């Protein structure tokens, strides 16, 4: 009888052993830079603004997030705008879930794919940035010329990808494993300057001349030339005006990386699959 009683107690005691509801504090932090980072073709890139919409975030028990993460271990369904140029730690909220070992993560940059509708869902953070994932501004020094730039980038699930899953996921090369405990603290650290290192700023420069049948507006270094019949009809010195002469565009105050441009594609690729945030656990 006692053996039977102990067996029953033992079986009952095994229910939910090691699995408890937990809350984990989530902190966000940027990286403060005092100078420039080296980019493509030796460009010296200085970022002066980097606001990023982050969230939602999910942590999974499996080694690879995505479709293999049927049920998240921890989740934070909100969003927050991160000043990625500030190393000030910001409390964003709490991940909620259960104890266990977190081995992978996945998140969105403020724009979430849904199974129930065609259009993506804009988080409050993305809405506050005008419906984009990140707003980046700065200058690049290349070939002795200062190129001012701005980029408003959307990072969202492509039409060909599986819908309903976050865009950015832990890769097989990312190291991430932690035994989750209640009141743990997870800090996500961003390095926005690294997202611009593959932008081809040199391709925005031009050393052109008016030719018959050629462009009607071009740049001869920092001179904007208007061509008529293959000869110069008028010109402006962009530098004297405090502007930059952009290839085939002329004098502009900033180069805007629109969708379809090399700069836009380079930044989006870096955010989605290039330089990832650092995930740091603190007791």
Longest dimension (CA), the chain: 107
Q: Residue 282: exposed, middle, or buried by beta-carbon count in 10 A (0-12, 13-18, 19+)?
A: exposed
Residues 210 and 186 occupy one common structural domain:
no
- Tell me, yes or no, whether 9 lies in a domain: no
Q: Does residue 1 carry a pLDDT above 70?
A: no
Residues 242 and 266 occupy one common structural domain:
no
Query: Residue 126's domain spans which residues?
Result: 20-200+253-282
Tens digit of each residue's pLDDT (9 = 90 or more) over 147-197: 999 999 999 987 666 667 888 999 888 889 999 999 899 999 999 999 999
- Tell me, yes or no, whether 128 lies in a domain: yes
Tens digit of each residue's pLDDT (9 = 90 or more) over 264-283: 999 999 999 998 999 999 87
Predicted pLDDT at 173 = 81
pLDDT band, very low/low/confident/very high, at 119 (cuts 50, 70, 90)? confident
- Tell me, yes or no, whether 101 lies in a domain: yes
Which pTM does this prediction carry? 0.88
In the block, residue with structure tokens 């028990």 = 61
Q: Does residue 97 carry a pLDDT above 60?
A: yes
């Amino acid at each position: 009888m006692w053996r039977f009683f102990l067996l029953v107690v033992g079986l009952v005691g095994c229910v939910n052993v090691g699995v408890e509801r937990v809350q984990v504090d989530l902190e966000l932090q940027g990286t403060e830079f005092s100078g420039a980072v080296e980019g493509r073709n030796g460009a010296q890139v200085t970022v002066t603004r980097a606001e990023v919409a982050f969230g939602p975030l999910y942590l999974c028990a499996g080694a690879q997030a995505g479709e293999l993460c049927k049920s998240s271990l921890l989740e934070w369904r909100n969003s927050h705008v991160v000043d990625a140029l500030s190393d000030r730690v910001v409390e964003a909220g709490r991940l909620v879930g259960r104890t266990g070992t977190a081995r992978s993560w996945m998140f969105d940059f403020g724009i979430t794919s849904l199974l129930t509708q065609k259009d993506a869902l804009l988080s409050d953070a993305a809405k506050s940035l005008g419906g984009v994932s990140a707003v980046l501004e700065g200058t690049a020094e290349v070939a002795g010329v200062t190129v001012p730039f701005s980029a408003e980038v959307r990072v969202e699930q492509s039409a060909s990808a599986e819908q309903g899953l976050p865009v950015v996921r832990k890769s097989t090369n990312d190291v991430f494993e932690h035994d989750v405990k209640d009141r743990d603290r997870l800090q996500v650290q961003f390095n926005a300057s690294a997202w611009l290192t593959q932008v081809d700023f040199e391709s925005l420069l031009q050393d052109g001349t008016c030719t018959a049948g050629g462009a009607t507006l071009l740049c001869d270094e920092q001179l904007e030339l208007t061509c008529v019949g293959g000869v110069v009809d008028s010109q402006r010195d962009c530098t004297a005006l405090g502007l930059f002469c952009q290839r085939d565009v002329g004098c502009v105050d900033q180069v805007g990386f629109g969708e379809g441009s090399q700069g836009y594609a380079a930044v989006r690729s870096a955010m989605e699959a290039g330089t990832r945030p650092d995930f740091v656990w603190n007791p």
